[in-house]
Amino acid sequence: MTRRPTARATRRGPRERSEAGIDGESRVAAAYRAVEGVVHTRPSVISLCAAALLTAAAATSTLAQTPPLPKSPVTINVVDVAGDLALTQAAIEAYQAKNPNLVSKVSFTKAPAPELPAKLKAMQAAGRSDIDLVLTGVVALSAGIDQGLWVKVLPDHAAKFPNVLDNYLPAARKMQDLAQGEALVVTFMPAGPLLEYNPDKVKQPPTTPQELLAWCKANPNRFGYARPANSGPGFTFLMGLPYLLGDKDPRDPAKGWEKTWAFLKELDSCIEYYTTGTAAIMKELGEGSRDMTVTMTGWDLNPRILGIVPKNYKVTPFKNMTWVNDAHYMAVPKGVPPEKLAVVFDLMAYLLKPEAQALTYDKGYFYPGPSVKNVPL
C-alpha cells in the first residue's frame, strides 16, 4: 500500500495565513507542545518533550476486564488522521480475512488530525459511537489525552497485550511512553527535520536555519512546506527549530520559543502559501513550482518511489541538528460497545505481530515502519 498524493493547497488569505503561518502557530502551541521524541546527535541520548502529555493524571488506574470476543461478526470503523493506512491497511485486511467469524466488514475513513478531537468529543457527549479505532499521530493523540477521549489500554487491558512494551524497538518504546497507556505505537520512524531540494536550482543547499532564511528571501516563493498540524515533515521542522536556534526551552512553545516564533515570522515573508498536506507540497516540488521543502526520511523515499519527485533530487540535514522521531498510534475512543472493543483489541494485538509489522515497510513512506523487534524484510 502507498500513500497517494493530493494537490490541495492553502491559499494565503488572512485566515489561512494565520492558521498555517506564524500567528496561528502561537495559538495552537498547546497542540505542538503535545509531543516529540527527539534523539540528540551530540550526545546521542533520548529526550522527550510532552508538555500536554506530561500533565498525566496521577490517579491509579483500575484494571479492567477485556470483554469476550463476540459470537457473531461485527463491523469495525477505522479512522486514519496520520496517513497510517498506507502502512497498516493491508495488515488490517489480512486480519479480517483470517477472522471472518469476528469481522464482517472494515470501514476505512481518512480525516484531518485537527478536526478529530472535537468530533469525538461531540459523539461521546451525544452517547454515539461511530468510530472504533483511530490511527493517529502525536498531535491528535495528545489532544485526546488532554480531553479524556481515549480508552485506557495499559495497564487496564495489559493481559491482551503480553510483553508489549518489551517487544518495542528502544526508540519506539520511548515514543510509547508519551501515550500514557492510552494508545499503542504501531509504526515508527526516525524522522528529521531534513531539507529536500532540486539540485539544478539550489546549488548550495542551506545547512542552518539562518542560511535557509537567507536563501528563501533571495528566492521568494520557491520554498514552502505543509501546515504542521496536518503534516509530518511540517511538524518535525517546527519541533526541531527550537533546538537548531538555541531557544531557551525547546519543550515549551508558549514560553521558551522566542527565537523560533521570530524566525518563522521572517520565513513567512518569502513563503507563498502553506499546503494543507505533505503530498501537495511534494507534488509542487516534483512539478517545479517549488525548489525546496522540508522533509523526513519516509517522505524522502516514498515520493521518489512513486515517481512524484525526481530521483536526482537531494536531501540534506541541518548542521548540529536534533533528530525528532515520529510514530503513529492506535487509540480507541471511549464508548465503543463491548463486543466491538474485544475485536478492536484483538486487531491491535495482531497489528503488533511481526507478520503484520512486516507489511509496514511499504514503499518507504514511513521508513523504516516497524515499531517492534525481529520483523523480517
Position 57 in a domain? no
Inform me whether the pLDDT recorded for 22 exceeds 50.
no
What is the predicted pLDDT for the residue at 243?
96
Phi, psi angle pair for 220, to nearest 5°: -60, 140
The model's pLDDT over 171-190, given as tens digits with 9 standing for 90+, comes to 999 999 999 999 999 999 88
Same domain, 102 and 149: yes
Residues 299 and 339 reside in one and the same domain:
no
Q: What is the DSSP letter of 133?
A: E
pLDDT band at 170 (very low <50, low <70, confident <90, very high): very high
Q: Per-residue pLDDT averaged across 40-47, rounded?
A: 28
Q: How many domains does the chain have?
A: 2
Q: Is residue 251 part of a domain?
A: yes
Is the pLDDT at 80 greater than 60? The verdict is: yes
Based on the domain organization, do 105 and 18 belong to the same domain?
no
Domain of 361, CATH number, reads 3.40.190.10
Is residue 349's pLDDT more than 80? Answer: yes
263 & 361 share domain: no
Cis peptide before 68 (omega within 30 of 0): no
How many whole angstroms separate alpha carbon 274 and alpha carbon 225? 6
Q: What is the mean pLDDT of residues 277-282?
A: 92
Distance CA 346, CA 5 (A): 31
- Determine the Cα–Cα distance for residues 11 and 313; give it in Å rounded to an integer: 26
- If one counts every other C-beta atom within 10 angstroms of the C-beta of residue 309, the result is 24
Q: Which amino acid does the sequence have at 351?
A: L
Q: What pLDDT does 34 receive?
A: 34
Residues 102 and 158 in one domain: yes
Residue 126 domain boundaries: 65-190+326-370
Task: Answer whether residue 301 is part of any domain.
Answer: yes
In a domain, 6, yes or no: no
Are 236 and 298 within one domain? yes
Q: How far, in Å, CA of 261 to CA of 209, rounded?
A: 13
> What integer best gives the mean pLDDT of the chain?
83
Tell whether 312 and 332 lie within a shared domain.
no
pLDDT tens-place string over residues 193-246: 999 999 999 999 999 999 999 999 999 999 999 998 888 899 899 999 999 999
- Say whether both 183 and 74 belong to one domain: yes
Residues 345, 160 contacting (CB under 8 angstroms): yes
Q: Return the closest-CA partner of residue 226 out of 287, 294, 288, 298.
A: 294
